[in-house]
Amino acid sequence: MKIIVRLLAAFALAATGLATPNFASAQEKTAIRDGFEFPQDRRARVLLFRPSIKVGAQSTGGMFEPRAEWTEAARVNIEAALDSYQVNLGHVVVEQPETFGYDAQLVREYQALFGAVARSVIDYQFFIGNRLETKKQDNREDKFRWSLGPGVADLPGAENADYVLFINTEDHYGSTGRKILQVLAAASVGYGVKSGLHAGYAGLVDLKTGDVLWINADYAMGGDVREAEGAEKRVRQLLEEFPLASEGAETQR
């Protein structure tokens, strides 16, 4: 627990009386690609995959251990919440066709890649105090340029859609995170008062270019996804700033 010691030392320093701004609220969580606008003349088709969901516990050794029962519960809850929330997405939601074998594998690979991009956006463009200089420059110029690459056109169902909406959640319930974050909570820094990790990433991607047009990404989202109400809260939080009007979407399957 060397990290804890250093944290406490830093905290002690901080306690010598400097103002503690609320970093949580100061941090960006969403972004839109500069210049992006949905076409107004027609309804855009949004491909929606079954979300990537991971739920587990943090062992004392700091390792993440997936928990099947929790993940199953979360899946049922999140999918139900998403089903009822879809009407708010506007436009035509095209659901993922049944996939097997190679196609299913490809979807999983893109979901994993989207997760990596989302984390990079949070870490290196959003998070104050951790931004890369090159990303700071982008921020100054109002640029948001991230992409998964044009290979997204190979995703199953891409031929029937204009955009794809990725949704990933990852929840770690555990002791290590809790200790650190309780220290932070005590310092009133406001970052992630909840214990562990409760990450959610939602991203709208252009199926022709792979460009990320809109993203909402955060490591400290609300709602216990193992419960129906918590999952609803999480889905709302993920999609509340989806850049579309909410006039009754059609869902195509």
Partner 1 sequence: MRLLRFGKLGLALAAACAASAPLQADDFAVPPYEGAYQPQGEDERGLWMMADEDERLLRDSRLVITDEALNEYVRGVLCRTIGEDRCGSVRLYILRVPYFNASMAPNGTMRVYSGLLLRVRNEAELASVLGHEFAHFELRHTLWGFKRARTGSDLVAWTTLLGAMAASYGGATSSSGADIQTSVLGTIYRYKRDHERAADLLGFGYLANAGYRASAAADVWRGVMNESDRSAEIRGRRTNRYDSVAFFASHPTDLERADTLSYFANRVQGGEREGSDAYREAMAPWREEFLKDQLMLGDFGASDFLIERLAGEQWSPDLLYARAELYRGRGNPRDLVASADFYRDALKQDPDLANAYRGLGLALLRTGNRTAGSEAIKIYLDRVPNAEDAGMLRMMMEQ
Partner 2 sequence: MNITTRMRWFALGTLAAVAATQPLAAHKLREAGVTVEVAKSDLTVTPSVAWNRLNPRTGKDNETWTLDGEELNDVTFYGQVEEGKTLLLEVDKRNRPLPRFSDTMLLTDIPPMLETTYRIARDLRLFEITGMEPAELSGHKAIRFTYEFVGPDEVRRKGEADAAIVDGALYMMTYEAPQIFFFDQSLEKYRQLRDSMALG
Among 48, 93, 144, 170, binds partner 2 (CB under 8 A): 170
φ/ψ bin of 142: left (φ > 0), alpha (ψ from -120 to 50), beta (otherwise): left
Site string for partner 1, 10-49 (x = CB under 8 A): ----------------------------------------
Tell whether residue 147 is a contact of partner 2 (CB under 8 A).
yes
Using DSSP's 3-state secondary structure scheme, residue 92 falls into strand
Find the binding residues for partner 1 in span 52-71 (CB under 8 A).
52-54, 56, 63, 65-69, 71
Nearest to 250 by CA among 35, 45, 64: 45
The residues with which 167 forms a beta bridge, in sequence order, are: 202
Measured at the CA of 93, the angle between CA 95 and CA 91, to 5 degrees, comes to 170
Binders of partner 2 among residues 41 to 80 (CB under 8 A) are: 58, 62-64
Strands 30-32 and 212-218: antiparallel
Q: How many CA atoms lie within 13 A of 163 on its CB side?
A: 27
DSSP string, 56-71: EEE-TTS-EEE-HHHH
173 is an interface residue for partner 2 by CB under 8 A: no
Binding mask 99-138 for partner 2 (x = CB under 8 A): ---------xxx-xx-xxx-xx--xx--xxxxxxxx----
- Does 197 help bind partner 2 (rule: CB under 8 A)? yes
Q: Which of 111, 176, 216, 237 binds partner 1 (CB under 8 A)?
A: 111
Question: Using an 8 Å Cβ cutoff, are 8 and 125 in contact?
Answer: no
Q: Smaller CB distance to partner 1: residue 66 or 97?
A: 66
Q: Give the torsion through C-alpha atoms of 202, 206, 212, 214, to 10 deg.
A: -50
Smallest gap from Cβ 224 to partner 1, in A, equals: 16
- Does residue number 14 form part of the binding site for partner 2 (CB under 8 A)? yes
SS percent in the chain: helix, strand, coil, step 5: 40, 20, 35
- Regarding 210 and contact with partner 2 (CB under 8 A), the answer is yes
Where do contacts with partner 1 occur on this chain (CB under 8 A)? 52-54, 56, 63, 65-69, 71-75, 104-105, 107-109, 111-112
Where do contacts with partner 2 occur on this chain (CB under 8 A)? 3, 6-7, 10-11, 13-14, 16, 18, 20-21, 23, 58, 62-64, 108-110, 112-113, 115-117, 119-120, 123-124, 127-134, 146-151, 170, 172, 176-177, 180-181, 183-184, 187, 189, 191, 197, 199, 210, 219
